[in-house]
Amino acid sequence: MKILILKKKIIINIIVITCLLFLFLVVFYLTSSKFTSIQTIYPLNFSKDIQYDLTGDGVKDTIETIDGQNQIDFNIKSLDKDYYLSKQINNKILFTINNHWSPKVFIHDISRDSIPEIIIQGSKNNKSVNYIFSWDKKKFSLISSTNKNILGILDCKNTKTPQCYSISSSEGISSLNSFMLINDNILDTTSENPTVPSLDSVTSFINLIEIPYNLDETPDIFTTSINSDELSLLWNLDKDNFSYTFQNAFFYDYEWNNSGEPTAIKWRLSFEKNKLKGSINDKSEFVILVDVVKSNSSYKISSIQKSK
Ligand SMILES: [Ca+2]
């Protein structure tokens, strides 16, 4: 009898330990890098109130767009003070007005000091221009500005320090530049980053949108599992009536493997859509959101969606 009770105790213990182990594994799996929360980085929607704490004091600030005479400025209201970002630029003009290429604001903490950086991408006199601003406790100072039309952040939300990339689509990979922000100082990391993962597939995709006709076969840049409805976007561009010209792109990674390589990267691609037989000003912005995933050793496009 005593032996039977003892055996029962052991069995109960084993069951409890197994359950705990199982629970631990589930929690570990869900919190492992693959499942860390994905914070998407979308351009701010200025039709809504834009309130963010941009100075790190716990009080929300308001960022607003100011349309002036042929120019667009941004103002941040913080504790009843106005900070016009154009004041930090040499000729005091951030962007010029362009209906099909308006500036987009992204907010992300690149320096990892819990005060977000302000990344603004747009155009000045029909040419690409980007700025990164950072709160220096007195003002929003200009950290970086570039005319390159591809901008992105990798190691965006993992345990490493985020890196900012800029590339010119016309000059290609030789124009690649990268840096980190350490204590609000730029640390150039260009020599350590010879390429951007997924760039090749996305460049092919951009070419696919830009060519003035439809290809009979798509190049090998898509995953086999890509949704056919999404892929049909390519054949619905109505290239008999419209042309598409790449304007700029923003990318960031949101999943990583155990060796820290990005396994999923999101791209926002902006094109100028031009009506071929319309008037000269018949242009609009056409935006496609692309997800690229690492499959085996290459990066393939797993999703394409027209941005609303
Ligand atoms: Ca604040």
Task: Give distance in angstroms: CA of 57 to centre of ligand 1.
Answer: 5
Q: Please tell me the distance between residue 56's alpha carbon and the centre of ligand 1 in angstroms.
A: 5
The answer to whether the CB of 150 falls within 8 A of the CB of 104 is: no
Residue 32 lies in a domain: no
Measured in angstroms, how far is the CA atom of residue 236 from the centroid of ligand 1? 45
Residue 167 inside a domain? The answer is: no
C-alpha 55 – ligand 1 centre gap (Å): 4
Kindly state whether residue 131 falls inside one of the protein's structural domains: no
Is residue 187 in a domain? no
Distance 164 CA to ligand 1 centre (A): 24
Range of the domain at 246: 197-308
Is the full-model pTM beyond 0.75? yes
Q: Domain for residue 234, yes or no?
A: yes
Q: 59 alpha carbon to ligand 1 midpoint, in Å?
A: 4
How many domains does the structure of the chain reveal? 1
CATH of the domain at 204: 3.10.450.50
Which run of H or E residues covers position 130?
strand 127-135
82 inside domain: no
Choose among 238, 210, 208, 211: nearest CA to 222.
208
The overall average pLDDT reported for the chain is 89
Q: How far is the CA of 52 from the centre of ligand 1 (A)?
A: 7
Cα(106) to centroid(ligand 1), Å: 17
11 to 5, 14, 19, 25: CA distances (angstroms): 10, 5, 12, 21
For the stretch 59-97, pLDDT in tens is 999 999 999 989 999 999 999 999 999 999 999 999 999
* Contact status, residue 293 vs residue 198, Cβ threshold 8 Å: no
Query: In angstroms, what is the span from residue 82 Cα to ligand 1's centroid?
Result: 12
Query: How many angstroms does the Cα of residue 145 sit away from the middle of ligand 1?
Result: 24
Segment 229-249 shows an average pLDDT of 95
247 inside domain: yes
Residue 308 within a domain: yes
Ligand 1 centroid–CA 91 distance in Å is 27
Instruction: Kindly report, residue by residue over 164-200, the tens digit of the pLDDT.
Output: 999 999 999 999 999 999 987 999 999 999 999 999 9
